[in-house]
Structure 1
Amino acid sequence: MSESVTKSGGCQCGRVRYEVNLASHDAYWCHCRMCQKATGGIAAAFVQVDAENVRWLTQPDWYRSSAIAHRPFCAQCGTPLGFAFLDGAGGFDLTIGSFDDPADFVPVAHAGAESIHEAWLDTRSLPRHFSATTESVAKRWKAAGLEVPE
């Protein structure tokens, strides 16, 4: 990415929103147990940004996730939005999944590698099921009078 770009994001319910000026689309996976617990996933996907480049349009809630870090989230819907060290050093991380359009991000590194679940790294050979063609999902969206979201 040769010049900076502004991207937006927020939580699932829409209460918390942000804009960030990005210098790069380089992202990373953090596999540490803290990130696994904080997201409920096998890893957390982040992009690191300068904290001063994040503009909260509506303020997130924060919780102290360890003796050295705290994390923004939405207390209404539970969406994890990022990670920051308490001392403010080392940049600020936003969760890739909280961006409105996360398609441009590219993972370039693995952090917290001591806790990687290797079996989950390369899943290309697994069958892929799409929400719109999974009957148990699609019929519920249709019954709600809605289209299956992307």
Structure 2
Amino acid sequence: MSYEGGCLCGQVRWRAAGEPINVRICHCSLCQRATGGPFFARALFRAEDFSWIGETTSWPTSERIERRSCARCGVPMFSVPNDPPGRIGVSLATLDHPDALAPECHIFVGTKRAWIALDDGVPQYEERPPV
């Protein structure tokens, strides 16, 4: 299976040539601020299965994570963890078919916004899920 997507203006396009490692909704405060939204719904892929074209800007949001956005329209696209390396997270909202992947859990719900009700039936973890 493969997945494709892009930013709002179309300048950045991406493709994943394999199944994701996991699909999660992160409610941590870093993801909230980095995306400008109440959470970051993302699929995590192996870097060797992932490619993109187009200019992005990047910045670290922690010692662990570098973020990338479209350099033209500013859409937050990717998160690149460095521990362990070799993975890339991509925003589910940027999928060409946004319902192609469904989140398997919510993480860091201890810092979710109080006005968000989680009633989708998937597991919830106060912080990271168990391995």
CA distance in 2, matches of 1:15, 1:24: 23
Q: Which of these two proteins has the greater Rg computed from alpha carbons?
A: 1
Q: Aligned match of 2:101 in 85, 105, 109?
A: 105
Tell me the CA shift for residue 55 of structure 1: 1.2
| TM-score normalized with structure 1 length | 0.70
Say whether the 8 Å CA contact 1:48–1:94 is kept in structure 2.
yes
Q: In 2, are the aligned partners of 1:29 and 1:43 still within 8 Å (CA)? A: yes
Structure 1 segments of 4 or more deviating over 6 A?
none
What is the number of residues matched between the two proteins?
120
Q: Hey, which of these two has a bigger chunk of helix by percent?
A: 1
Tell me if the contact between 1:26 and 1:106 (Cα under 8 Å) persists in the aligned partners: no
List runs of 5+ in structure 1 lacking aligned partners. 125-150
> How far has the Cα of 1:58 moved from its partner?
2.4
Relative to structure 1, is the Cα distance of residues 22 and 102 closer, same or farther in structure 2, using a 3 angstrom cutoff? farther
Residue in 2 that maps onto 1:60: 56
Q: CA deviation at 1:117?
A: 2.3
Q: Write the distance in 2 (CA, Å) between the matches of 1:99 and 1:78.
A: 16
Contact 1:48–1:93 under 8 Å retained in 2: yes
Residue deviations 1:102-150, cap 9 Å, x none? 11211111122221224313489xxxxxxxxxxxxxxxxxxxxxxxxxx
Residue segments in structure 2 that go unaligned for 5+ positions in a row = 121-131
TM-score (norm 2): 0.79
